Chains A and B, each alone.
Chain A
Amino acid sequence: GAVVSQHPSRVICKSGTSVKIECRSLDFQATTMFWYRQFPKKSLMLMATSNEGSKATYEQGVEKDKFLINHASLTLSTLTVTSAHPEDSSFYICSTLGEGPLLDYGYTFGSGTRLTVV
């Protein structure tokens, strides 16, 4: 089945620094990648949608200059949290849509990245 590898699984960074989160599709081409954010004990909220080779589309209220998304290839999408602050601490999850038979399962999710900004 489809596998999305997300790294790192946990990261602690100092306030003001930037953090990059990577998501790789291991056995299929991910034309579209979705990035979600989940606060503790809360739901997952879609942050942005990226399509390979084009600019990401951000949901209302998500700062595109703060959450930089790059989807340069069909197997790799990255989310960079720039100038991180404690309020950016959250669980970030990427997801992609399978194609062909993989679509039977709909979306495939990475294992998530728990970001703590101190």
Chain B
Amino acid sequence: AQKVTQAQTEISVVEKEDVTLDCVYETRDTTYYLFWYKQPPSGELVFLIRRNSFDEQNEISGRYSWNFQKSTSSFNFTITASQVVDSAVYFCALSFIMYSGGGADGLTFGKGTHLIIQP
């Protein structure tokens, strides 16, 4: 069975502070994919990143960065110099995807971290 744990239910920081959202996962699959999504109050899910289990390179995209550590089964997300517009619920998710024609699993989501950026 797959499981994603986001231990931080809610984080509140003041604008311009850096903030890290934790994600720990469990899976028996050797090939798997990890995702981060942002969910603003409107409800739609905004894709942030996808990472497969064979790629442990850290990634940076503007103010966002991700740290993938297979040894600790963690895929943490850091926002540098946070802004009020970053306020949202952030979900970490896990799946086992097979390529076209091979079927696919749905996503297993963590419980989400509600990030509040105060001006």
Interface flag for B106 (CB, 8 Å): yes
- In this complex, how many residues of chain B approach chain A with their Cβ under 8 Å: the count is 23
Interface flag for B64 (CB, 8 Å): no
Determine if B43 and A44 form an interchain contact, defined as CB atoms under 8 angstroms apart: no
Interface residues of A in 42-90 (CB under 8 A from B): 42-46, 49, 51
Determine if B44 and A112 form an interchain contact, defined as CB atoms under 8 angstroms apart: yes
Encoded as 1 (CB less than 8 Å from any A CB) or 0, chain B from 29 to 67 comes to 000010100000001110100100000000000000000
Interface flag for B72 (CB, 8 Å): no
CA distance A105 to B45 in the complex (A): 13
Encoded as 1 (CB less than 8 Å from any B CB) or 0, chain A from 94 to 118 comes to 0101011001111101011010000
| Partner of B97 from A31, A45, A49, A97 at Cβ < 8 Å | A97
Determine if B106 and A100 form an interchain contact, defined as CB atoms under 8 angstroms apart: no
Interface flag for B19 (CB, 8 Å): no
Determine if B106 and A46 form an interchain contact, defined as CB atoms under 8 angstroms apart: yes
Contacts of A46 on B, CB cut-off 8 Å? Answer: 106-108
Contacts of A21 on B, CB cut-off 8 Å? Answer: none
SS of A interface (majority): strand
Contacts of B33 on A, CB cut-off 8 Å? Answer: 106
| Interface size class, chain A | 20 to 34
> B54 → chain A, closest Cβ, in Å?
15
CA distance A111 to B41 in the complex (A): 12
Determine if B43 and A112 form an interchain contact, defined as CB atoms under 8 angstroms apart: yes
Determine if A43 and B91 form an interchain contact, defined as CB atoms under 8 angstroms apart: yes
Interface flag for A15 (CB, 8 Å): no
Other A-B pairs, 16, CB within 8 Å; known A43-B110, A106-B33: A31-B100, A32-B104, A43-B109, A44-B45, A44-B91, A45-B109, A49-B105, A49-B106, A103-B97, A103-B99, A105-B47, A105-B50, A106-B97, A107-B35, A112-B43, A114-B43
Residues of B that sit less than 8 Å from A by CB: 33, 35, 43-45, 47, 50, 91, 95, 97, 99-100, 103-112, 114
Residues of A that sit less than 8 Å from B by CB: 31-32, 34, 36, 41-46, 49, 51, 91, 93, 95, 97, 99-100, 103-107, 109, 111-112, 114
